[in-house]
Structure 1
């Protein structure tokens, strides 16, 4: 599988898993969503907000790529999160609508990527102002890995609250090569 195909698969997986996560979280009362369970960002709601903040920060950085990906234009109109612990919304429905917007932008944007875009060195500053320059394709791997990491935490928080998220394996989106020879389109 090419690097581009892998990134597009991850974009579809991201959208699929976020929908599962928000559907599962919606079964909990507000006080359970906000209950501090000792995670990096405290609660399930804090973790979901962190993912929105982190994704928004990274997408705004990615929008500075010289390729000028049109699919990322809407993210530039969004307010920049003040930090990784920024709360976009304490209301799960509002947060979920924003999450779906971000996920659609991510899927559309990865469809615009070309192999040549991945080798570009992106210059950016982190939330503490520390400057870095890293290969764009490697940053995209970090972007998707970060999402998976915190969704794993959210999955544990849901389990602690008695909610089964169900199957979460990327394997569910990878088609058997013998069947068709190509990976499926993201859900």
Structure 2
């Protein structure tokens, strides 16, 4: 289904895109980051928060990270400022890259079983599907943030995977 090379590529892409969005977001003030822009989670910062929360949840299942102690509804307010979010985002991105580098083909096989708070039950899915979902979820919400940043007047950069620098 997927390979460790795919996972490593997507971990690099995640880091590249998050760095680009951080640079754009840092040109805005707190009010602009907190303004409700009509997106699913409302604001730029709330969407950033949810995205990092979700990465922590998935990596708790995939690599034993500590899971956030709040559910989806609390995911939007874990980091009250861009600076606080950025520090944990950068740590998480580095850890995701290290996890991807350690990954072996066997690690992508078999089921992943977890309790889903949003579904209120145990779930079992193939590990490879869960890994693809994590990266797809990142891309989805980063797209929302990219649109909100652009609408707020920030200058954003390319998001095309094929244009990612080789040294990322």
TM-score, normalising length from structure 2? 0.92
1:11 equivalent to 2:11? Answer: yes
Match of 1:102 among 92, 95, 98: 92
How many residue pairs get aligned? The number is: 164
Question: In 2, are the aligned partners of 1:51 and 1:150 still within 8 Å (CA)?
Answer: yes
> Partner of 1:22 in structure 2?
22
Question: In 2, are the aligned partners of 1:15 and 1:103 still within 8 Å (CA)?
Answer: yes
> Partner of 1:156 in structure 2?
147
- Kindly report which structure 2 residues correspond to 1:46-57, keeping only aligned pairs within 5 A, or say none: 46-57=46-57
Question: In 2, are the aligned partners of 1:56 and 1:81 still within 8 Å (CA)?
Answer: no
Once the 2 structures are TM-superposed, how far is the Cα of residue 136 of structure 1 from its aligned partner?
0.6
> Which digits, 9 at most, give the CA deviation of each residue in 1:108-155, with x for residues without a partner?
001111111111211012222321111111110000000000000000
Q: Specify the SS of the correspondent of 1:131.
A: strand
Uncovered stretches (5+) of structure 2, i.e. residues with no partner:
none
Question: In 2, are the aligned partners of 1:125 and 1:132 still within 8 Å (CA)?
Answer: yes
Q: Specify the SS of the correspondent of 1:133.
A: strand
Higher gyration radius (CA): 1
- Kindly report which structure 2 residues correspond to 1:1-187, keeping only aligned pairs within 5 A, or say none: 3-64=3-64, 75-76=65-66, 80-85=68-73, 86=75, 87-128=77-118, 129-173=120-164, 184=166, 187=168
Tell me the distance in 2 between the aligned counterparts of 1:16 and 1:10.
10
Question: In 2, are the aligned partners of 1:49 and 1:95 still within 8 Å (CA)?
Answer: yes
Uncovered stretches (5+) of structure 1, i.e. residues with no partner:
65-74, 175-183
Once the 2 structures are TM-superposed, how far is the Cα of residue 23 of structure 1 from its aligned partner?
1.0
Runs of 4+ in 1 over 4 A off after TM superposition: none
Tell me the distance in 2 between the aligned counterparts of 1:63 and 1:5.
17
Once the 2 structures are TM-superposed, how far is the Cα of residue 162 of structure 1 from its aligned partner?
1.1
TM-score, normalising length from structure 1? 0.83
Tell me the distance in 2 between the aligned counterparts of 1:60 and 1:143.
12
